[in-house]
Amino acid sequence: MDPFTTLTGLVAPLDRLNVDTDQIIPKQYLKTVQRTGLKDGLFYDWRCMPDGTPDPTFFMNQARFSGVAILLGRDNFGCGSSREHAPWALLDYGIRCVIAPSFADIFYNNCFQNGMLPIVLPEDAINELFCSVDATEGYQLTVNLDAQTITRPEGQLIQFVIDPFRKSCLLSGLDTIGLTLEYEGDIAVYEAKRKTDVPWLFPS
């Protein structure tokens, strides 16, 4: 996994509540056996009109948002299915950070597994950012994970909160499976005890 330290990038708005993972990456793109190449499916049903032509009102079809790295969202972002294809598709499109007032649990978690940073900010701060993005072409933000700050081009700093364990994993690009495997001893001890406590779970 690539580490996430700082990111300066173009911000695009997605002003909808409850953006679900079926929208982020529709099912027809789930038939892959790979993690890459999913950008073609990103927000496909919102990006394209029923006849397949691009919907000019959607951010992905607007020149000013080409090269987006940070997505601004609303409450309950990433709800629905557990498909990790959702963060994979965002990442494949170049989006490494999503800022929203709240995220659905599984999506939130899946982001960290892929070197992406989901940032929770209060509603007011989000509203201000939506206004700024709307008003300023080429609006960029700088995210500093170590300092837990977002720097606005106007100069203000926004502080954000993040779980310290997730933060350190992201900063170092840590392989969490490797980490768990280091506790092989603890797992073996646990399994031996569990076998005595609940023997019916260990059919011979």
Radius of gyration of the chain (CA): 20
Strands 117-120 and 97-100: parallel
3-state percent breakdown (helix, strand, coil) of the chain, nearest 5: 40, 20, 40
Check residue 22 for interaction with another protein (CB under 8 A): yes
Look up residue 17 and give its amino acid. L
Stretch that binds another protein, among 30-38, 57-65, 90-98, 139-147 (CB under 8 A): 30-38
* 3-class DSSP assignment, residue 198: coil
Check residue 168 for interaction with another protein (CB under 8 A): yes
Instruction: Give the one residue of 4, 114, 141, 145 binding another protein; rule: CB under 8 A.
Output: 114
The pair of three-digit structure tokens given for residue 94, joined into one six-digit string: 């170049």
Instruction: Give the one residue of 75, 144, 148, 149 binding another protein; rule: CB under 8 A.
Output: 75
Look up residue 52 and give its amino acid. G
Instruction: Give the one residue of 68, 79, 98, 119 binding another protein; rule: CB under 8 A.
Output: 79
Check residue 104 for interaction with another protein (CB under 8 A): yes
Check residue 115 for interaction with another protein (CB under 8 A): no
Residue 72 · residue 12 · CB < 8 Å: yes
Residue 155: partners with Cβ closer than 8 Å, 6 or more residues away: none
Closest to another protein by CB, 40 or 191: 191
Binding region for another protein (CB under 8 A) = 16-18, 20, 22-23, 26-28, 30-35, 45, 50, 74-76, 79-84, 87, 102-106, 109-110, 113-114, 163-165, 168, 175-181, 183, 186-187, 190-191, 194, 197-201, 203
